[in-house]
Structure 1
Amino acid sequence: MNAFPYHSDSISVPGPYGPTPLGTNYMDTAQFLRDVHPVNDRADAEAFISRMGQLAAVLDAETDHVRRNAARGIVAPTFVVEQTIAILSKVRDVNPSDEGLVRSIGTRAVAKGLSGYAERAQAIFTRQIRPALARQVAMLQSVLPRAVDQAGVGRLPDGRAYYDACLRYQTTSTLSADEVHRTGLDLVANIRAQIEEAFRKQGMSRGTIKERATALAASPGQAFPNTDAGRAAVIAYLNDQLDAVKTRLPQAFNRMPKTGYEFRRLAAEMEEGLPFGIAQPGAPDGSRPGVFYINLRDTADWPRYTLPTLAFHEAAPGHLFQNGLQFESGELPLYRRGWFFSGFAEGWGLYAEQMADELGMYRDNPEGRIGYLLSHLWRAARLVLDTGIHLRGWDRARAVDYLYENSFASRSGAQGEVDRYIVMPGQACGYMIGHTTITRLRDEAQRRPAFDLRAFNDFVISGGALPMAVLEGRVRAWLMG
């Protein structure tokens, strides 16, 4: 990616634009300090304050990226800039005593018998962070008149080559953009046929898939109230799903992670820009569980039948489960235990959904199995969407319409997802490309007389996150004995 100077390697949102509604340096740092950073003693509290004091410089570096790109004629699409300004302005204008970092350190320090930290944090926010946020907002406002409505990166300098590089980086495959697009169209057709059959078995044979999915979401028992009590019920249901699948995981794995995993609600101040949620891996020593923070700004985005698959993908046997085993692997050097490749990680997430189905998690929940198939349809549609936007010039509205018709997402949810694809070119393609690679390798392994599912799954995880081509070579060498 170094060949494209406008690219930003932000951990949360690698792409060409810097701060976006999906991630800014403020949001990323605030979440880490608030939800991960320990405050068990005075040294921890001092470290928290020290890191908070460095945040303004980090924000200014991000602002400089916007400035440099604008000088090259590169500005994010209009709606991205507008949304980012709104999100950062809200943080800039918060009452300092109510700011999330101030409240976090103040509350946790007092619980440990430490005083004065809320006041110090408030002073840092007022004198350093707020002015840096103001500078960032001002920079974005200054480039807004130069923003355009074109969504894809094809308009950028060497845009086609940049998109090809993004695809290789995110999928770790050698598929061309055209091949990814055709793969997506084939998978969408195949999965839609499976969904049609699943709906027919439930006596729902009339209407489009979207109409039937919407009708299923409106059926009794599917909706959670859009209240704090309803949101708490969503969290409880998700964690119940994790408890249920945990009893069946020994059928598919020999090893279980020491690190726990759970769902929590995403902080309200982060709900506006993020799509469905974000994950935070647990501590390698098991002292802190892995957490998926689900965005519950509107519970209508989460009918009950969609939630089991979310639990299996994000937590167990998906990301947090896999991350836990990878972190705890004594066979890997330390740097490899935290290594990440999107194609491997997201491919594993879809493979985890498939394993949950194979372990019988939907046997008594046919509506949940429809949710699982719709999840795979959504990920297949991403291949079409991402390449449609960045290769074929689709605009935002066309992309939203396509995802709305090929997923369980509400229109607002579909728009949030499409915005993610726009600012993170190629990332959404890693899911299904990774999944098809892992399942193809398992199909090869199953043709061996001594196939053992647990041994296969353990072996795939034991190597840590790998590029797809490396994974293929490693598994085939293992199969050769």
Structure 2
Amino acid sequence: MIDARRMNRRGVLAAGSGLALAAAAGPVWAGAKDGDAQLDALLDAQLQAWLDRAPELVTGLGLDVGARATQRFKLADRSQAAAVEGRDKAAADLAAVRAVDPASLSPEARLSRDIALFQLECTAAYRAFPFHKSEGWRESPYIVSQIGGVYSMTPDFLDAQHPVKTAQDVDAALSRMAAFAKALDQDTERAEANAAVGIVPPDFLLDGALAQLKALRDGQAKDKAMIRSLTRRAREQGLANPEAAAVALFEGPIRQALTRQIAALERHRARAVHDAGIGTRLPDPEAYYALNLKTYTTTAYSADEIHRIGRDQVAELTGRLDGLLKAQGYTKGTVGERVAALNREPRFLFANTDAGRAELLAYLETEMARVRARMPEVFATVPRGGFEIRRIPVEIEGGAPGGYASAGSLDGTRPGIYYINLKDTADWPRWSLRTLTYHEAAPGHLFQGALAREAGDLPLYRRLTGFSAYSEGWGLYAERLADEMGFYDDDPFGRIGYLQSFLFRAARLVVDTGLHAKGWSREEAIRYMTATAAEPENRAAREIERYCAAPGQACAYKLGEIEIARLRAEAERRRGFSLKTFHDRVVMSGPMPMTVLASHLNAST
């Protein structure tokens, strides 16, 4: 799971260099009732069992100390047996939560129950689809793709999240490198099992995955990011040089496991077809896509409804952009053609060189600091932890999203990280970068995530839960909020970038449902995205391929934003509306499904 208003006695206590969970007597909610302690103990036990299975997350949270110290040496079990066990556990957990009488609970405890029920219902429902893989934000029928698989996650995790402060931390990193080889083989075994029943990714997804796997496997081991990072940080701490041991692991078991995975995917590539959507390759694709849409959007919208909403939003946003472009003298061609022309104007571009990338990152740092300084104007609470901006690792940038956020540790000692894909700086004209920063950093993902994680009043199971429509909807809402605060008042092209961002997310509703419910091809979807949302073709191609690998995920953004905006409009009509209070109610209660958020906000008034 990846946020109750009154103090929760569990809390998170400092313990050595990390955090440990304190013993709990249950939360103390306003108007607490007899069932609250029972539900709290149940949800906490479920959380602890889930953390037992997630050593990378435990490290990311800073909880790999004390009783959990051995998890710093491990990676998660990625076998098919573990996946089945996890979904069976979710079904049992679901039954246990359902058995708690909501009449015995306070309003806050009922909120916790509703959040848990939705999440467990979705997880348990995937038992009907044994080929399915849940991996962070990726709900996918494909075990290995250009965006998914342990090969794309562990090197960056070892670089950015695994701590290196002591000799034991070095040993733990080497242990995880050894476990990386096993995890690769587990992914390969599951991919082979899926292929045996005809579930093979499209040819272009396999091409992307193979290119990245070969880039990771080939070349000098000592030059790999995870090894460079380990040796550099060990040197900075005055520890013995681990390079020889790390290189031996890479040259031996890791490279061998990568070679086995490459060979398997090359066999799959020989039989792969070009069909982009899931309709021709999965059993009961309509039911699978409907479940993915429910999981991602946390709504009951059908694929047809989402497609219609997307087209309506595209039409409305295109009209708004038309007026802004004409005001700047851009009058010829469609809106898509005019915005595309802006993409190519040299005055907006950073050089596609290391120096240009450094200049771009410095620009983002300045903008992030500026917007964070103004957040107290619209938020009663601001995060304590810091934020960083980093380039997405070169080894995986070919298939990675344009940008994404990685949350910091619970105690704030490891900052949240805003990643940007700098494979080609032409993907990021200057007029688009402010909006990306507001979405990924502040007041978007890193800001919201940090507030949830630092909310000591909340039980940990509320702080660590996650729903794409909530988080991505908030990220898009954050872009709108920045506009309301005047961040584009002196930057008309920045406002064009903001509306183009909204148009891009609306177009996602059309192309995702087009691919998976209406039989669109990859090329048809790319053409629509470039013509309608003015995305550069190479970036549009990466985006469309991402939607092919994670069906439904692209629909979370705009549907989440639409719902948050609707709920705010409702709240504004009530007497005594306060924007800070509204934000507090949305963010400080933690992530939740859109349906639950609506009932929570209505109950709060």
With the length of structure 1 as denominator, give the TM-score of the two structures.
0.97
Q: Which amino acid aligns with 1:341?
A: F
Partners of 2:403 and 2:440 within 8 A in 1: no
1:225 is displaced (CA, Å) by 0.7
Q: Distance in 2 between matches of 1:14 and 1:413?
A: 22
Residue in 2 that maps onto 1:34: 159
Residue in 2 that maps onto 1:141: 266
Residue in 2 that maps onto 1:111: 236
Q: Which amino acid aligns with 2:551?
A: P
Aligned residues: 479
Residue in 2 that maps onto 1:214: 340
* 210-219 or 176-185: bigger deviation: 210-219
Q: Distance in 2 between matches of 1:215 and 1:86?
A: 31
SS state at 2:134 partner: coil
Partners of 1:101 and 1:121 within 8 A in 2: no
SS state at 1:14 partner: strand
CA distances 1:409-463 after superposition (whole Å, capped 9, x unpaired): 2100000000000000000000011001100000000001200000100110011
Partners of 1:362 and 1:369 within 8 A in 2: yes
5 Å-filtered alignment, 1:444-459, equals: 444-459=570-585
Indicate yes or no: 2:491 matched with 1:365: yes
Residue in 2 that maps onto 1:301: 427
Q: Which amino acid aligns with 2:222?
A: S
Q: 1:184 to 1:303 in 2, by over 3 A?
A: same
Q: Distance in 2 between matches of 1:217 and 1:5?
A: 43
Q: Distance in 2 between matches of 1:249 and 1:405?
A: 36
1:288 is displaced (CA, Å) by 1.8
Residue in 2 that maps onto 1:128: 253
**In structure 1, which of residues 335, 339, 346 is the aligned counterpart of residue 461 of structure 2?**
335
Indicate yes or no: 2:523 matched with 1:387: no
CA distances 1:225-245 after superposition (whole Å, capped 9, x unpaired): 111111011111111111221
CA distances 1:361-397 after superposition (whole Å, capped 9, x unpaired): 0000010000000000000000000000000000000
Residue in 2 that maps onto 1:7: 132
Residue in 2 that maps onto 1:150: 275
Residue in 1 that maps onto 2:35: none
* 200-209 or 390-399: bigger deviation: 200-209
**In structure 2, which of residues 216, 221, 224 is the aligned counterpart of residue 96 of structure 1?**
221
1:12 is displaced (CA, Å) by 4.9
Q: Distance in 2 between matches of 1:61 and 1:114?
A: 33
Indicate yes or no: 2:526 matched with 1:427: no
Partners of 1:154 and 1:163 within 8 A in 2: no
* 81-90 or 386-395: bigger deviation: 81-90
CA distances 1:263-296 after superposition (whole Å, capped 9, x unpaired): 2212222222213133211122121221111111
Indicate yes or no: 2:46 matched with 1:46: no
Partners of 1:274 and 1:416 within 8 A in 2: yes
1:69 is displaced (CA, Å) by 0.5
**In structure 2, which of residues 197, 200, 205 is the aligned counterpart of residue 75 of structure 1?**
200
Residue in 2 that maps onto 1:199: 325
Q: Distance in 2 between matches of 1:406 and 1:351?
A: 21
Q: Which amino acid aligns with 2:377?
A: Q
Indicate yes or no: 2:542 matched with 1:416: yes
Q: Distance in 2 between matches of 1:246 and 1:215?
A: 32
Residue in 2 that maps onto 1:314: 440
**In structure 2, which of residues 565, 568, 589 is the aligned counterpart of residue 439 of structure 1?**
565
Q: Which amino acid aligns with 2:570?
A: E
* 404-413 or 415-424: bigger deviation: 404-413
Q: Which amino acid aligns with 1:17?
A: Y
* 99-108 or 117-126: bigger deviation: 99-108
5 Å-filtered alignment, 1:172-251, equals: 172-219=298-345, 221-251=347-377
SS state at 1:448 partner: coil
Q: For structure 2, which runs of at least 5 residues remain unmatched after alignment?
A: 1-125
SS state at 1:9 partner: strand
SS state at 2:509 partner: helix
Residue in 1 that maps onto 2:191: 66
Q: Distance in 2 between matches of 1:110 and 1:65?
A: 38
Partners of 1:266 and 1:294 within 8 A in 2: yes
1:18 is displaced (CA, Å) by 1.0
**Percent pairwise identity:** 46
Q: Distance in 1 between matches of 2:344 and 2:545?
A: 26
Q: Distance in 2 between matches of 1:457 and 1:50?
A: 43
Q: Which amino acid aligns with 2:371?
A: V
Residue in 2 that maps onto 1:402: 528
**In structure 1, which of residues 335, 349, 354 is the aligned counterpart of residue 475 of structure 2?**
349
